[in-house]
Amino acid sequence: MTDIDVTRTDFGADLSVKIREIETIPLHLPFGSPFQISAATRDFLEVLIVRIHTDQGVYGIGETQAWRRQGSAETLPNLMRSIHDQFAPLLIGRSPFEVNAVMHDLNACLYNSLYAQAAIGDALYDLIGKFLNVPIHTLLGGKCRDRVRVGAVLSMKPTVEALLDSAQGFYDRGFRHLGLKIGIDPAADLRNAAALREQFGDDIVLRVDANAGMNFDAAQRLLRKLEPYDIDAAEQPIAIWDIDGMAELARTVDMPIMADESVSTDHSLLEVIRKRAATVVQTKTAKNGGIHYIRNLWALAKAAGMRIYPGNHPSTSVATSSVAQMCAASPEPVMEGVFAVGVSGALADDIVENPIRPIDGEIPVLDGPGFGVTLDEDKLEKYRIEI
């Protein structure tokens, strides 16, 4: 057995690296076609890319979005003000390796500012990965899988034929997990679910998502009618705040309930767990504050026997890689989430030189340092907006 010198303190890398500057890059990224859910229609996505620069040249990148719902009250200018005015003074001169202490300080400074903290925390992980020349899945405990199966979102369409066309397009590209947006017109929702089952039989896993858009009565009535269509999970049928209502639905409707909008912090997840208001939880990079916080949510959910649905708002390959790295490091299986909704067709363009694209309904886990993505400076200039 080799003797190990436990008094050694020189490990090669110069860990005295210090954060020098926080750069924010606000972007408007066009959707490929208007993105419609029960509560909103969007023509473009408001993205904020954060670059944390160090005194040793290495930098890390993180992504968040100004989603303006689901617990996000921020606009792009607000996110930038929070980061430059409040967070930067707490970050400059610190070691990027002090992630826990730094994130604790950011939260103490701006309580529950998860959308702003997401980009900072993820940029710190990316920075550490790049500094140590390892992918983030290595930092998270090691890679358990090379590819991650993802689902596709079926945006609302004016006719059932148009919906089936879009579903067939995803099916032909290898997707087998489809998320149907519901919540505006229950008759159309039923027709769509029936048509999808008729077209694809048992070849697809079908999930529905109301984006908190229904009242309790409407949700209970619709979900009961959807029971014959083998729905794998009904995502956030009712309002964010109605955890008791979600628990009532979970008891009275024969399909699993998924909490998305209702879960922001660990406390909100604990409330869902205590009340058995859902058996599936969806996390998102921006909504839940990035890797630093989402790791804890996944640990809680696993301990409670919940299924984990890795999600994201529509995003670029930066946030897509963030979630993929977490999925790769999870020894337990995770569900086929829709965190690649940018690159699987919702967004018209990406901002990295090596976009993560689904192949046969799976995305590769990148093995480059950090997130493994390289920003495309020309694309950043193309979509950058003046604030």
Interface with Mg ion (CB under 5 A): 209, 260
Q: Which is nearer to Mg ion, 341 or 356 (CB)?
A: 341
CA distance 318 to 371: 7
Provide the minimum distance between the beta carbon of 50 and Mg ion in the complex, in angstroms, as a whole number. 24
Q: Which is nearer to Mg ion, 79 or 212 (CB)?
A: 212
CA distance 304 to 248: 19
Q: Which is nearer to Mg ion, 189 or 376 (CB)?
A: 189
CA distance 380 to 353: 11
Provide the minimum distance between the beta carbon of 213 and Mg ion in the complex, in angstroms, as a whole number. 10
Provide the minimum distance between the beta carbon of 69 and Mg ion in the complex, in angstroms, as a whole number. 10
Provide the minimum distance between the beta carbon of 254 and Mg ion in the complex, in angstroms, as a whole number. 21
> 317-348 burial, b for 16+ CB within 10 Å, e for fewer?
bbbbbbbbbbbbbbeeebbbbbbbbbbbbbbe
Q: Which is nearer to Mg ion, 209 or 248 (CB)?
A: 209
Residue type at 171 in one-letter notation: Y
| 209 phi and psi angles, rounded to 5 deg | -140, 115
**Number of Cβ within a 10 Å radius of residue 79:** 26
Provide the minimum distance between the beta carbon of 379 and Mg ion in the complex, in angstroms, as a whole number. 27
Q: Which is nearer to Mg ion, 339 or 371 (CB)?
A: 339
Provide the minimum distance between the beta carbon of 236 and Mg ion in the complex, in angstroms, as a whole number. 5
Residue 206 contacts residue 164 (beta carbons within 8 Å): no
Provide the minimum distance between the beta carbon of 89 and Mg ion in the complex, in angstroms, as a whole number. 35
Q: Which is nearer to Mg ion, 39 or 88 (CB)?
A: 39
Residue 300 contacts residue 271 (beta carbons within 8 Å): no
Q: Which is nearer to Mg ion, 40 or 299 (CB)?
A: 40
Q: Where are the beta strands (DSSP E) in the chain?
A: 19-37, 40-54, 59-65, 147-149, 152-154, 177-181, 205-209, 231-235, 257-259, 280-284, 307-311, 362-364
CA distance 139 to 157: 42
Residue nearest to Mg ion (CB): 260
Contacts for 164 with CB less than 8 Å, ≥ 6 apart: 195, 196, 199
